[in-house]
Amino acid sequence: MKPHCDALIIGGGLAGLATALRLAAAGLRVTVVAKTALTEGASLYAQGGIAAALGEGDSVEAHIQDTMRAGAGLCRAEAVRFVAGRAAECIRWLSDSGVRFTVAGGDEFHLSREGGHSHRRILHSADATGRAVATTLEDHARRHPNIRLREHCIAVDLITTARLGISGAARCIGAYVHDRAAAETFPMGAGVVALATGGASKAYLYTSNPDTSTGDGIAMAWRAGCRIANMEFVQFHPTCLYHPRAKTYLISEAVRGEGGRLLLPDGGAFMQRHDPRGELAPRDIVARAIDYEMKRGGHDCVYLDLSHRSAGFIRRHFPNITRRCREFNYDLTREPIPVVPAAHYTCGGIVTDLHGATDIPGLYAIGECASTGLHGANRLASNSLLECIVFAAAAAAHITRAVPKAAGMALPAWDESRVTDPDEQIVVAHNWDELRRFMWGYVGIVRTVKRLHRARRRIRLLRREISEHYGNFRVNNDLIELRNLVLVADLIVTGALRRRESRGLHYNLDYPAALSRARDTVLRLSG
């Protein structure tokens, strides 16, 4: 039997670590479960920064309006105000924790600008903000006596009182966890569980996300009975480096914020034809424009050009991007670089309130796996890291006020009495590849009803096959991730079919207009 803890945090990125540190500071015993080495998730690769209205002439109200505008009428005003109003406080917490943001001179933060923002308000640490924040918090977590870290472990499913047949109000009391190195699955009990597992962009063939982004928390919450909302809104980052070995390396939106221009292979600019804001239009507009121009011209990519700025400026502001481009023989200081859109961010997720609490008492969701109402139909650039920090603080405060310490209920062991070792792994590998390819082709930047129905039929076949495999063989990391990813793909397609309009990130050629009233797509396990 593994020891109980007061709080079990599933996910070792920014949302998970920030929540763990807040809870540990309040005296709770916290266990953090991470699928790989700590912080080896999407947070680490976030380049742009964190949005906060700190600059001259800027205001919280302007940040709110920009967020609402980008969200295409689907943001919850209460959530947007909640997050934007707490941005300055959270920046202070990060700065006090030792995060070194880039300064413009003296004690003033350097603020960059990104698409959809009316002001310069992006705090950053050069062009590797996620790495600076995640590694700083990781260092604190490793040294905190109240935090226990379990790396290279993946959660399989949540444990609730309903799952155990315990009468009374349902409550989350832990999770089954698979230790990848030991090939062992066991229960971990907790007073509360917080899902901080990130998004599900690995459902797509091309993505800026690391391999860990397989929708685990969303899938586990769905199976436990939580509502899931707005999964059809998948954000495709407009500019990822196009190279067969680059694995769709993200080129920060800040490059366009500092004057980067998008060009066709013949050198012609095109963004003004699609939006008067040009390269600084919100991501959904830029991604669709690139997709349109690539299909219209039969191009494999478009080009991003910052070479009109001085080489010193480019190296100073984008040292990591410049270095990475040179690894692939591209010189950002002298020439346009090839870029393509790639799946980047899951705007929908587990429905929560402003404390991060889900439908199940004792279960919280924080960060990209959650649907808080902040992003609506399209996430405004650099609001994601901010959301992680704000809701980590809100969830930790709610947990410490309302949740007693773990009582140590005995939990049943993981049952492997009727399964065997997998006879072959090719089934999992083949299904994984098939899923990602047809999701890219049928449920991508531009959709049709016919394509969505094709995807649904393929998904339902895969789900049956994977369910049979899961029921007969011992679990391993690849099978757990595939089981989660195919479920989340089903939720994305279901949401897309229910939305009979085009709004934000969801563009359907059969329903090109937006409805007069914006409504969330809320899915329930019961239908």
Query: Distance between CA 160 and CA 149 in Å, rounded?
Result: 23
283 is known as an active-site residue:
yes
Query: Distance between CA 225 and CA 236 in Å, rounded?
Result: 28
Q: Are strands 261-263 and 302-305 parallel, antiparallel or unpaired?
A: antiparallel
At 502, give phi and psi (nearest 5°).
Answer: -115, 125
DSSP state of 169: S
First to last CA, the chain: 36
- Fill in the amino acid letter for 509: L
DSSP state of 245: T
Q: Measured at the alpha carbon of residue 153, what is the angle toward residues 6 and 440, in degrees to the nearest 5?
A: 115
Which residue is associated with the tokens 């832990």?
A: 174
Q: Is the dihedral of CA 18, 19, 24, 25 positive or negative?
A: positive
CB neighbours (10 Å) of residue 266?
8
Instruction: Provide the token pair at 137.
Output: 């918090």
- HEC readout, 276-330: CCHHHCCHHHHHHHHHHHHHHHCCCCEEEECCCCCHHHHHHHCHHHHHHHHHCCC
Selecting among 283, 324, 451, 483, the annotated active-site residue is: 283
CB neighbours (10 Å) of residue 110?
18
Residues forming the active site? 283
